[in-house]
A = this chain, B = another copy of it.
Amino acid sequence: MWKGEFMNNFYFQLPTKVYFGKGQIVHLGEEIKKYSDNVLLVYGGGSIKRTGLYDTIKDLCVQNDIKVYELPGVEPNPRIGTVRKGAALCKEHGIGAVLAVGGGSVIDCAKVVAAATKYDGDAWDLVLDSSLIKEALPIFTVLTIAATGSEMDRGAVISNPETNDKLAMFSSLFYPKVSILDPEYTYSVPKGQTAAGVADIMSHAFEKYFTRVKGAYLQDRIGEAILQTCIHYGPIAYHEPENYEARANLMWAASQAIDGVTWRGNEVQSTAHPIEHQLSAYYDITHGVGLAILTPVWMEYILNDETLYKFVEYGVNVWRICPDKDDYEIAKEAIAKTKEFFKSIDIPSTLREVGIGEEHLEIMAKKGSHNLQNAFYPLDEQDVLQILKNAL
């Protein structure tokens, strides 16, 4: 009834140059040098110093005669204050390129720094209205965790702790010029972050797999390919952090799971992401953990005669549940397996486990339900409140 008619029209381009594999960092210096003689190196808590990646990059910049400025300390949910600091540095020193070394948070921060440098007003304006972005510094990334897909997309998510806002924004100027994807750089990702990354990749696939669009069959099958890859390799990477095959597949799955390849022709308003952004905004929890808690609860909440077909497809094609079973049996088994999977890699399964109680549920439901009337299964504020309560 409410399903879209046919595959959507879409626009597709993936301008980011990706160098994938062991040792591909060698291309970084020469690529930056095409655009600038100096660069702002953006990174997080300093793990890149422990792993030696920081030194490798500094050496490459020296070899290519590129002057390096630094913006360290980007938060796991990157804050607008850090963006402002980065943009101020770029303006002060006339910096001509931004290099993010880290995961999605670092990359997202770098993207908005790149735009804010070319904007006269306050950086938060751009988060609220990305149409104000007319220009941006060229962005380069060296990825160190497989999760958000920010290394090959046009999105960024920025938090404002003063207002408890965490907002997603999009600009075609946010596609990195070059991304270095070396799976070995993810060997040192802690187990909990590895698991949360897997949940994030899967959630990106779910957000468009559960679409109103009818007949985006190829996209559905590719979504299943990504989900199967996460289910197969998530536990391997969790238990054997230096398994190259697992890290490589998860890394490439992360980059493909969003925006560029998988989110075309099947567009629909995401559900778990906007709700989870409220959790991270109010409690600063790990994004992937919030997604893993919400996803099975949301699935249970929306399972009904109208949505059943999609859960059957999911159960049979992803979990390989026998298609001879009763449809509701397949759907419920698929949801149970999703929940078990996240548990198997030790992700918390309730909000209380991550320190979230009833205190902000109403306001989070209000802010998180904006636009969800356009989701796969339309939700209003009361629905979201119930989902949050069910997730406690």
Contacts and interface: CB of A to CB of B under 8 A. Distances in A.
A248 B7 CA distance: 7
A265 to B, nearest CB: 7
Contacts of A132: none
Contact of A244 (B6, B15, B222, B226): B6
Given A20-B264, A261-B261, A217 B249 contact: yes
Interface string A282-306: 0000000000000000000000000
B14 A253 contact: no
Interface SS of A by simple majority: mixed
Interface string A5-20: 0111111111111111
Interface stretch (A58-66, A87-95, A102-110, A228-236): A228-236
Contacts of A248: 6-7, 215, 265
A226 B233 contact: no
How many of these chains are in the complex? 2
A232 B217 CA distance: 9
A21 interface: yes
A377 interface: no
A325 interface: no
A185 interface: no
Contact of A252 (B15, B218, B252, B253): B218
A146 to B, nearest CB: 11
Interface in A226-276: 226, 228-229, 232-233, 244-245, 248-249, 252-253, 256, 261, 264-265
Interface in A17-31: 17-24
A224 interface: yes
Nearest to A323: B320
B12 A218 contact: no
Interface of A: 6-24, 214-218, 221-222, 224-226, 228-229, 232-233, 244-245, 248-249, 252-253, 256, 261, 264-265
11 contacts: A7-B21, A11-B20, A13-B18, A215-B245, A215-B249, A216-B249, A217-B229, A217-B232, A217-B233, A217-B245, A225-B225
